[in-house]
Amino acid sequence: MDATQVFAEIAARADAGLQLDNVPGRVGGANAGPRMFRDQGRIYTRGTPDFEKAREAGLLERLVAVPPATLLAVERAETLLGADLPSLVRRLYLEVANGGFGPGYGVLGLDGGFHDDMKRTATDILENHDDWPGLPSHLLPLCHWGCAIYSFVHCPSGRIFGWDPNPVEPQDDVPFFEQEYTIDTWLSAWLEGSLHQPTLVVEADGRYRGATIAETAAEVLALENDGDS
């Protein structure tokens, strides 16, 4: 997809209230199962047969979209970054929502927008960049994947970086690593169902590096096959 198609598809998902991968819904028929939440509901995950069945049966609840960001919020983030946002990111913030759409737990918002589980927006993280040793210049926090894993986008180039502290020894700094995506291809991969969280791997010599797209996909497939066996 090109940037225009990506924007249109994300806007359509937001209009439909399906802008995240995990959508709450009602239990019904064959969808009743162990993944329960609240009193009479459950979470349906995009890409699973249950999600499609629930959508066809009208069981999915509409997600509430975050209102678009103000121009002031965008300009303040750009001032903190010292760079312009990539045009697709800027347009999504201003015309669709101030975060709360996309992969992982959702794209982080700017001032007044969607935040992570620590109540931090992307702007909050930028204002406290000393909490992230080695954070390269001009990286906008993009989304939280859980387990302290984050994606970042370089501004204004749109190159995607990952941050995964899990394999790192406590005495070592967590490296930021560039991935094989731009913001356009990263969001395209999410829309197409092929995007996975960034993963840091450790070589035999102790060197850290980011897993390639192919390596990450192979690992996910292996885990799925193990779960099916």
Question: What is the secondary structure of 9-59 as a DSSP string?
Answer: HHHHHHHHT--BSEEEEE--GGG-SS-EETTTEEEEETTSHHHHHHHHTT-
Q: Is residue 23 over pLDDT 60?
A: yes
pLDDT band at 14 (very low <50, low <70, confident <90, very high): very high
Average pLDDT over residues 176-203: 96
Q: What residues contact 152, with CB distance under 8 A and at least 6 apart? A: 139, 140, 141, 142, 160, 161, 162, 163, 176
Amino acid at 165: P
Q: Is residue 34 over pLDDT 50?
A: no
The predicted pLDDT at position 143 comes to 97
Q: Is residue 78 over pLDDT 80?
A: yes
Q: 93, 134 in Cβ contact below 8 A?
A: no
Distance between CA atoms of residues 163 and 174, nearest Å = 7
Domains of the chain by residue range: 3-56, 71-228
Copy the structure tokens of residue 200: 């840091």
Query: Which residue intervals of 116-203 are DSSP H helices?
Result: 122-127, 183-192
In the predicted model, what is the mean pLDDT of the chain? 91
The predicted pLDDT at position 92 comes to 98
Q: Is residue 30 over pLDDT 70?
A: no
Provide, rounded to the nearest whole percent, the portion of the chain with pLDDT above 70: 93
Q: What is the DSSP letter of 69?
A: P
pLDDT band at 103 (very low <50, low <70, confident <90, very high): very high
Q: Is residue 100 over pLDDT 70?
A: yes
Amino acid at 184: D
Topology annotation, domain 71-228: SMI1/KNR4-like (3.40.1580)
Q: Measured between alpha carbons, how far apart are the two ends of the chain, in Å?
A: 35
Distance between CA atoms of residues 55 and 59, nearest Å = 6
Q: Among the listed ranges 2-16, 33-47, 50-64, 74-88, which one has the minimum average pLDDT value?
A: 33-47
Provide, rounded to the nearest whole percent, the portion of the chain with pLDDT above 90: 76
Residue identified by tokens 């979209």 is 65
Q: Is residue 170 over pLDDT 90?
A: no
Average pLDDT over residues 185-196: 97
pLDDT band at 223 (very low <50, low <70, confident <90, very high): confident
Q: Is residue 118 over pLDDT 70?
A: yes
Task: Give how far the C-alpha of residue 219 lies from the chain's centroid of Cα atoms, to the nearest Å.
Answer: 19
pLDDT band at 229 (very low <50, low <70, confident <90, very high): low
Amino acid at 202: V
Copy the structure tokens of residue 104: 């992982």
Q: What is the pLDDT of residues 36-62, one digit of tens each?
A: 454 557 999 999 999 999 999 999 999
The predicted pLDDT at position 115 comes to 96
The predicted pLDDT at position 24 comes to 93
Q: Is residue 144 over pLDDT 70?
A: yes
